[in-house]
Amino acid sequence: MLKIIAERIRQKKRTIAYPKAPPVLPDRFRGMPRVDASKCDKACDACVVACPTGALSKTDGLSLDLGKCLFCADCTKVCPSGALSFSQDHCLASRLRQGLVLSGQEFEKATAMGEEIKRILGRSLKLRQVCAGGCNACEADLNVLTTVVFDLGRFGIQFVASPRHADGLCLTGPVTKNMALALRKTYEAISSPKIVIAVGACAISGGPYIDHEETLNGVPSDIPVDLFVPGCPPHPITILDGLLRFLGKIHH
């Protein structure tokens, strides 16, 4: 027992201070993309051609769909003018699907849920996680949130084993046809009022499997989504930031 106590003292506190302090992110972290349309050559479509998921468009000027973006940075490698770049801004979540489309405007960060549902779920949020055909990357980062480093439980957020015990659904994966029925049954089994969170490019748009004949390109239209967290996979800090903004625990 004394050895355990001594080791605990040696290790000190491991839980990050976020959101009270800014997160410490690795140098190679790719956060919010920057789109500078003023630098874009209208005759050049190298970035559009290079994008593996069709996240970039030049129909109405240069725009980037965060919901489709894999953060692979292939676009930045082929752009001759530097119109595209990636910052270290980890705040990527949005309440609206259209809010993930960047075309030069300032990105609107996720806002808090409505006051009535916040009153019911704001202090204790239980989520049922469903992997609908994902590669396990987003699932791994959700799991990391439950470790001592991030300690999701300190905010009253927990993942539960049964939809009957859940307040909402946390979806990952492109929703394969084999998982569509299971997903809908899980959603229906959660009592109202309930929320739905789509985590990762696959759940939002199909990700690298977009338009594959065996997928539904993410969450089907009959399941309303309350929070979109883009990325492939999104960093645990990005997921945590989105959840805390959704719960009204971060306002800036």
Give domain status of residue 201, yes or no: yes
Assign 3-state DSSP to the chain and report helix, strand, coil percentages, each to 5: 30, 15, 50
In a domain, 89, yes or no: no
Closest CA to 106 of 117, 94, 115, 114: 94
Domain count, the chain: 1
One digit per residue, the tens of pLDDT, for the chain of length 252 reads: 888 888 778 877 789 999 999 999 999 999 999 988 888 888 899 999 999 999 999 887 889 999 999 999 999 999 999 999 999 999 999 999 999 999 877 899 999 988 888 788 878 899 999 999 999 999 999 999 999 999 999 999 999 999 999 999 999 999 999 999 999 999 999 999 999 999 999 999 999 999 999 999 999 999 999 999 999 999 999 999 999 999 999 887
Residue 68 lies in a domain: no
203: its two tokens: 């759940």
State the CATH number of the domain containing residue 209: 3.40.50.12280
- Look at residue 75 and tell me if it is in a domain: no
Domain-embedded: residue 186:
yes
Q: Which domain holds residue 234?
A: 115-246
The answer to the question of residue 208 being in a domain is yes
CA angle 111/208/247 to nearest 5° reads: 15
Amino acid at 199: V
Q: Classify residue 142: in a domain, yes or no.
A: yes
Rounded CA-CA distance 124/106 in Å is 32
Residue 60 lies in a domain: no
Predicted TM-score (pTM) of this structure: 0.93
